[in-house]
Structure 1
Amino acid sequence: MPHTLSPAHKSAIIEMALSDHTPFAVIEAEFGLKESEVKELMRDNLKPGSYRAWRKRVREFSDRREHYK
């Protein structure tokens, strides 16, 4: 990951990414991380099962809503 983030910033990004109400565009605007970098951060900091459940939830919501995440 090209960005060096403080533990507080990592925690904030993870919290935003886990929220169903925060799109990736907001995270990018605030922290400068692209969607792929957010996914990498999540993969590195969540348990494997938690990461898979999060990705499944994001995919399912994005299939139902045009402008989700």
Structure 2
Amino acid sequence: MTASLPQTQAPTHGSATDIDYVYQQLVKGVGRELVTDANAQELAERADQDGHTILATELREWQAPC
């Protein structure tokens, strides 16, 4: 008999203030409504660090004035 390790799961509901949650949603291709002026730069930096260059570029474009 094998014992299984307990698994931790990310919250299914988060907020725009939870950077980890927002980032994971963006990586999945959803959650764009959670990007705000307050978190866009941090999300772009994280995307760069993780090699998600397209996501990082999109976040920087989101911040740019029109």
Relative to its length, the structure with more helix (as a share) is 1
- Report which of the two structures shows the higher radius of gyration computed on alpha carbons: 2
Greater relative contact order, per chain length (Cα 8 Å cut-off, separation 6+): 1
* TM range, smaller chain: 0.3 to 0.5
TM-score by length of 2: 0.35
